[in-house]
Amino acid sequence: MANLGYTVKGQPIQQLILDLKVKEEQFKLEVNALAPKLHEFVSKYINERKVRPSGDGDGNLERQLAPDYFDLGATFGWLMGNISKLEQTAPYWNALDSGSKVPPGNQNKPVPSGIFSPGQPNPNPESFRQGQWKAGQSSDGKKFSFIAKKPIIGINYIDEMYVELNRLVAEMQQRLTK
């Protein structure tokens, strides 16, 4: 998890609060209201650029990026993308953001045997791009390996989140200084 501070024109957040002449509680509400907007943006961004559908349960990247709020008095805000949580529940988060330089699975880290669920070993054109790779075996005991033919193309959602956050903060500053 990264600790990210935000400054405007070299001023710490406490000075920004004074400069904007708003009460701290109102400022906290404004800052915390940015989180769902950013989360909605990144969820839509990822969904529009997915190649394969998401799996069920906790592996869904968009749900794992939901903001975690904190308020420790003078330090408050929210975090998105707890890396240790993402590593466990959506281990593909980095490959989806940055892409992979080589196809997934190689001599040092082979792809485990498994199945596409739902799916078939030799799918017909109607079921193309359906399913998600699951390690293990099917209900009838079959399991397969797949050969990755091309690397994962990154969608740069983290950079886009940063750009959108800057836009949202600028809007908030304009609103508060009127």
Together in a domain, 141 and 162: no
Residues in CB range of 77: below 8 A, 6 or more apart: 31, 32, 69, 70
Does residue 176 contact residue 16 with C-beta atoms inside 8 Å?
no
Together in a domain, 55 and 107: no
Burial (Cβ within 10 Å: 0-12, 13-18, ≥19) of residue 81: buried
Together in a domain, 39 and 57: yes
**d(C-alpha 76, C-alpha 53), whole Å:** 35
Together in a domain, 177 and 165: yes
Give me the DSSP letters along 49-106.
Answer: H-SS---SGGG-HHHHT--EEEE-SSSEEEE---HHHHHHH-TTHHHHHH--SS-S--
Q: How many domains does the chain have?
A: 2
Together in a domain, 132 and 59: no
Mean pLDDT computed over 84-109: 76
Together in a domain, 14 and 37: yes
Residues in CB range of 134: below 8 A, 6 or more apart: 55, 114, 115, 116, 117
* pLDDT computed for residue 85 by the predictor: 87
* pLDDT computed for residue 45 by the predictor: 93
Together in a domain, 146 and 122: yes
Domain of residue 120, residue span: 102-150
| Residue pLDDT, tens place only, 31-47 | 999 999 999 999 999 98
More confident residue, 49 or 136: 49
Together in a domain, 4 and 52: yes
More confident residue, 117 or 99: 99
